[in-house]
Amino acid sequence: MGHAEPQVSTSLQSFWMPFSPNKEFKADPRLVARAEGMYFYTPDGRALIDASAGLFCVAAGHCRKEIAEAVYRQLQTLDFTAPFLRGHSKSFELAERVATFTPAGLNRIFFVNSGSEAVDTAMKMALMFHRVRGQPQRQLFVSRERAYHGVNMGGVALAGMVNNRRAFGPGLPGVYHMRHTALPQNKFVKGQPEHGADLADDLQRMCNLYGGENIAACFVEPTAGSFGCLPPPQGYLNRLRQICDDNGILLVFDEVITGWGRMGANFGAQAFGVTPDLLLMAKAITNGAQPMGAVAAKQGIYDAITDAGPKQGIEFFHGYTYSAHPASCAAGLAMMDIFRDDRLIERAAALSPYFIDAIHTLADAPGVVDIRSVGLMAAVEVAAVGGPGARGHELQKKLYDIGLHLKSTGDSLIIAPPLVAERRHVDEIVDKVRQALKA
Ligand SMILES: Cc1ncc(COP(=O)(O)O)c(C=O)c1O
């Protein structure tokens, strides 16, 4: 299927690549030139199966014509309008469509441009909500070790991954971390592990130590994604919900990865049966074709903030130049049609048992020390060799040469294919990962 593309002739030096080993990459680049369906193609035409939906974005498979055409039409009709004090119909329409997927009650949708922006927006919403309700002292936040909440300073403070924090100081003060849930007895468990619900009591301990009345919100990924797929222990999220309710704390689910079908339901909230107060999303909302994120807020939070504002004038001093950008809204609306017409979420749920069983066959592959999985996401963790992350990094390069793209973190290979994947694609991914582990 692949066809030859010209090699890049330009210098690679000017572009400062994000989250990448710049010097190493530029000395030995691994480029992609185009993509279609389940595959990327290298400049010399080799196919790479996409085992991580790009970066958990491309739920509907690559280069969907419906989205490309919708964006093209939009840019010829209304390329941009100020999102402050002006509106365009697609932003309202997309918010209505998104709210048909979110849990009941989370029906007020604030658009941003990325997951990181969704995180910092939600922190500000939480602070604002408590302030207008006469509790301005609620300024502390709780998150969890091994969490990833993007790269803006709020997200850095919430982050539970050392490399994302250590160079940047404390970020915001007043952020405390619960322990992670990766217990030794949960190794190689399929789906939600049995052990660890009691770790949610760390939140109660924070309340006891700092005063529950001082905590604004507790942020968690329903399943930690970027760290390497840590599904919540059974009962863990319910326990967090209870402690938040008991102490007047907002529960925030960061569903930037777990949203839009990845967990086998619309959102992790529905997959795990626990409803947060704020739900963050990005990535698959536009199939990754345009930058967009969103915060879905409970109507009560929106009402409290907007009712407290002046009769005329701005209620929430927050927003981005590109919030609800017309091209992103057009892409999002086209994607909503694809979710409906291609029954993407039902497909993910149907493929999940096959996917999980197939990934767990890698348990006997060389160096594998754990496999975690839920929905259409799994992590295969290999023993560290030559320092943490070194083996994962080498594997990452080898996989490109073998013909597979995936996201790795440290020594975990994270497998989360587009929701349009079929069994044969899962088999190909498993074969190629095994090949790389054996090499
Ligand atoms: C849970 C979570 N939150 C936030 C983010 C940040 O999203 P972005 O890279 O779009 O800023 C990510 C990115 O992977 C994520 O996984």
Query: Which residues on neighbouring strands pair with residue 360, listed in sequence order?
Result: none
CB atoms under 10 Å from CB of 14, counted, come to 6
What is the spatial distance between Cα 226 and Cα 230, in angstroms, rounded to a whole number? Answer: 9
Ramachandran angles phi, psi of 374, nearest 5°: -165, 145
Measured from CB, residues less than 6 Å from any atom of ligand 1 are 114-116, 119, 148-150, 221, 225-226, 254, 256-257, 282
From the CA of 224, give the closest atom in ligand 1. Answer: 1
Average confidence score pLDDT of the chain: 95
The whole-number pLDDT of residue 7 equals 57
Contact 88, 326 (CB under 8 A): yes
pLDDT exceeds 60 at position 6 = no
Q: Which pLDDT tens digit goes with each residue over 97-109?
A: 999 999 999 999 9
Please give the distance, rounded to the nearest whole angstrom, from the Cα atom of residue 275 to the centre of ligand 1. Answer: 20
Q: Please compute the mean of the pLDDT values over residues 68-78 and round it to a whole number.
A: 98
From the CA of 254, give the closest atom in ligand 1. Answer: 1
Please give the distance, rounded to the nearest whole angstrom, from the Cα atom of residue 165 to the centre of ligand 1. Answer: 15
From the CA of 115, give the closest atom in ligand 1. Answer: 7
Please give the distance, rounded to the nearest whole angstrom, from the Cα atom of residue 2 to the centre of ligand 1. Answer: 31
From the CA of 283, give the closest atom in ligand 1. Answer: 10
Please give the distance, rounded to the nearest whole angstrom, from the Cα atom of residue 229 to the centre of ligand 1. Answer: 14
User: What is the dihedral sign for C-alpha 392, 222, 317, 153?
Assistant: negative
Pocket mutation for ligand 1, best pick of 19, 52, 116, 227 (most atoms within 8 Å of C-beta): 116
The whole-number pLDDT of residue 56 equals 98
Please give the distance, rounded to the nearest whole angstrom, from the Cα atom of residue 149 to the centre of ligand 1. Answer: 6
Q: Which pLDDT tens digit goes with each residue over 261-287?
A: 999 999 999 999 999 999 999 999 999
Please give the distance, rounded to the nearest whole angstrom, from the Cα atom of residue 140 to the centre of ligand 1. Answer: 21
pLDDT exceeds 80 at position 1 = no
Q: Give the tokens for residue 400.
A: 């490109």
Q: Which pLDDT tens digit goes with each residue over 368-386?
A: 999 999 999 999 999 998 8
Q: How far is CA 41 from CA 3, 31, 274, 289, 401, in A?
A: 8, 9, 40, 17, 12
The whole-number pLDDT of residue 8 equals 63
pTM exceeds cut of 0.95: yes
Helix, strand or coil, per DSSP, at residue 306: helix
DSSP state of 361: G
* Confidence band, pLDDT 50/70/90 cuts, at residue 421: very high
Please give the distance, rounded to the nearest whole angstrom, from the Cα atom of residue 391 to the centre of ligand 1. Answer: 24
